[in-house]
Amino acid sequence: DGGITQSPKYLFRKEGQNVTLSCEQNLNHDAMYWYRQDPGQGLRLIYYSQIVNDFQKGDIAEGYSVSREKKESFPLTVTSAQKNPTAFYLCASRISSGANVLTFGAGSRLTVL
Amino acid sequence: GIQVEQSPPDLILQEGANSTLRCNFSDSVNNLQWFHQNPWGQLINLFYIPSGTKQNGRLSATTVATERYSLLYISSSQTTDSGVYFCAGEAAGNKLTFGGGTRVLVKP
């Protein structure tokens, strides 16, 4: 079945450590997105990529980094510079940028101890 | 970018009741989507509706693009309708902006 796989589902990290969240899609979508969701809040855009080897900052990119070396993969690194990294992270994709339906993965819940 | 506001923030329904959720956006959009987030966090697309009216079972949506709002109707609500409903809009620029959501609880 086609879809988006995020891993790990749950992750615990000590302060000062970097952590990488995986996002893999087999939908042949060009555009991929990372969102952050805090408890009781909406989704905020971290980074997005419209095509391989290209990505743009979203609204809250500070303390995060991404890469897009393959069409299927868009990993997100939460660095030690991110001051409040505990959150629910959602990866999404769509066929291309523009007026297309967004499909989401199941999310990764990061807790910093 | 555009601003997206949803109302009401919280909604408690008795099973079988009908309800309307509203989404206002600050500028014209060429993409408007409604999503449902279940209690485990999974987001499912309900409607892609930049204008007009669509129906899917007990759910329907209407977007009045000229007046910059969209409505989601839930009829004969069921406990499985509980969760958070988000709308998201996109003007130019290749990214959807999400509203703060409406948290719906349907009681049996």
pLDDT tens for A14-72 read 988 999 999 999 999 999 999 999 998 999 999 999 999 999 999 999 999 999 999 99
B68-95 average pLDDT score:
93
Whether A3 shows a pLDDT value over 90: the answer reads yes
HSE-CB of B99 using CA atoms within 13 angstroms: 29
B50/A99 CB distance under 8 A: yes
pLDDT of A2 reads 74
B41/A88 CB distance under 8 A: yes
B94/A88 CB distance under 8 A: no
Give the CA distances from residue B91 to residues B28, B32, B87, in Å, rounded to whole numbers and listed in that order.
Answer: 6, 9, 14
Whether B50 shows a pLDDT value over 70: the answer reads yes
Rounded to an integer, what distance in angstroms lies between the CA atom of residue B47 and that of residue B68?
17
CB neighbour list of residue A104: distance below 8 Å, 6 or more residues apart: A4, A90, A91, A92, B35, B42, B43, B44
A106-113 average pLDDT score:
94
Give the CA distances from residue B83 to residues A39, B7, B79, in Å, rounded to whole numbers and listed in that order.
Answer: 13, 15, 9
pLDDT of B1 reads 80
pLDDT of A1 reads 66
Size of interface A-B (CB pairs under 8 A): 59
A106/B41 CB distance under 8 A: yes
pLDDT of B47 reads 96
- Looking at per-residue confidence, does A21 or B30 come out higher? A21
pLDDT of A83 reads 87
Percent of chain B surpassing pLDDT 90: 87
CB neighbour list of residue A100: distance below 8 Å, 6 or more residues apart: A31, A94, B31, B48
List the one residue out of B85, B82, B25, B97 whose CA is nearest residue A35: B97
Closest chain B residue to the Cα of A99, Cα to Cα: B31
Query: Cβ contacts (< 8 Å) between A38 and chain B: which residues?
Result: none
Three-state secondary-structure class, residue B81:
helix
pLDDT of B75 reads 97
CB neighbour list of residue B79: distance below 8 Å, 6 or more residues apart: B15, B106, B107, B108
b/e burial code for range A61-92 (CB count within 10 A of at least 16 → b): beebbbebeebbebbbebeeebeebebbbbbb
User: Which residues does A contribute to its contact with B (CB < 8 Å)?
Assistant: 31, 33, 35, 37, 40-45, 48, 50, 58-59, 88, 90, 92, 97-104, 106-107, 109
A106/B40 CB distance under 8 A: yes
- Looking at per-residue confidence, does A37 or A100 come out higher? A37
Closest chain A residue to the Cα of B2, Cα to Cα: A59
pLDDT of A106 reads 96
Query: Cβ contacts (< 8 Å) between B1 and chain A: which residues?
Result: 59
Residue found by looking up tokens 């897009």 in the block: A68
Q: Is A30 left (phi over 0), alpha (psi -120 to 50) or beta?
A: alpha
Closest chain A residue to the Cα of B5, Cα to Cα: A42
**Is B64 part of the contact surface with chain A (CB cutoff 8 Å)?**
no
Per the CB < 8 A criterion, the answer to whether A38 and A87 are in contact is: yes
Cβ neighbour number for residue A4 with a 10 Å cutoff: 22
Q: Which of B1, B48, B94 sits opposite A101 (nearest CB)?
A: B48
